[in-house]
Amino acid sequence: MPPRRSPRVPAARVVGLKDLQARMATANDLAYHLDLTSVPEDFQTVMKALEEAYWIAADLAHQRSKTGCTDHPHGPVDPVAPEGWSSCLFCNNNRRRGVQQPRAVTGQRLTGATSGRNRHAERVEEARRPSPPEAARWREPDIRPSPADEDPEAAVRRERARTHAAAVDRARQDRAARKKAGTP
């Protein structure tokens, strides 16, 4: 029978476990020096250290999925997974097809790095480009009411103003023409 391999433990869980052990050691040291004459603040310090340890342990004790996959925890199980592979059907199909998962130097998967494009640099470049003039229109309030919302009196006033402005323009043109011709 071949030796059984232990599953790879993510680096975040190792750090979390070390943090849990440190918090428990701190709580133990603080509790060791307590006695019945200790002040309430000392008990509250121990309680705070234990509470921090509790929440770290709660985070580490999440349920294991049936696939054991961090990308597809509730995905289908691969019934014919080879020895040493996870039981996630999606990941194993990608492996069989030769689709490589990009990994960092530490061996962890890089999320969002599925192509050679640097999307962050593209977004920064896009933000540095000047905006087109129509992009700033949202800043200008649209004061003009739509024709359907307009009351009839406002339409009459607008028409009078238009005709008045046209009449003033005609009078100015006539005056300029008379002045040019020399007639008062």
Mind listing the pLDDT tens digit for each residue in 124-163? Answer: 777 777 766 666 555 555 556 565 556 777 777 777 778 8
125 located within any domain: no
Specify the number of domains making up the chain. 1
pLDDT value of position 73: 77
Residue type, 158: R
Residue 44 has pLDDT above 80, yes or no: yes
Region 48-52: what's the mean pLDDT?
A: 90
**Residue 55 within any structural domain of the chain:** yes
Left if phi > 0, otherwise alpha if psi is -120 to 50, otherwise beta: which for 98? Answer: left
> Residue 20 falls within a domain, yes or no?
yes
Determine the pLDDT at residue 71: 78
Euclidean distance between CA atoms 106 and 181, whole angstroms:
92
Alpha helices, DSSP H, located in the chain:
11-32, 40-60, 89-97, 119-128, 152-181
Taking all residues of the chain, what is their mean pLDDT, rounded to a whole number?
Answer: 76
Query: Does 166 reside within a domain?
Result: no
Q: Is residue 146 part of a domain?
A: no
Asked if residue 49 belongs to a domain, the reply is yes
Distance separating alpha carbons of residues 175 and 184, to the nearest angstrom: 8
Domain that holds residue 31: 11-60
Residue 139: what pLDDT?
54
Mean pLDDT on 25-43: 89
0.85 exceeded by pTM? no
Instruction: Give the integer Cα–Cα distance in Å for 94 and 178.
Output: 88
Q: How confident is the model at residue 47 (pLDDT cuts 50, 70, 90)?
A: very high
Query: Is residue 23 domain-resident?
Result: yes
Residue 54 lies in a domain: yes
| Residue-level pLDDT at 94 | 85
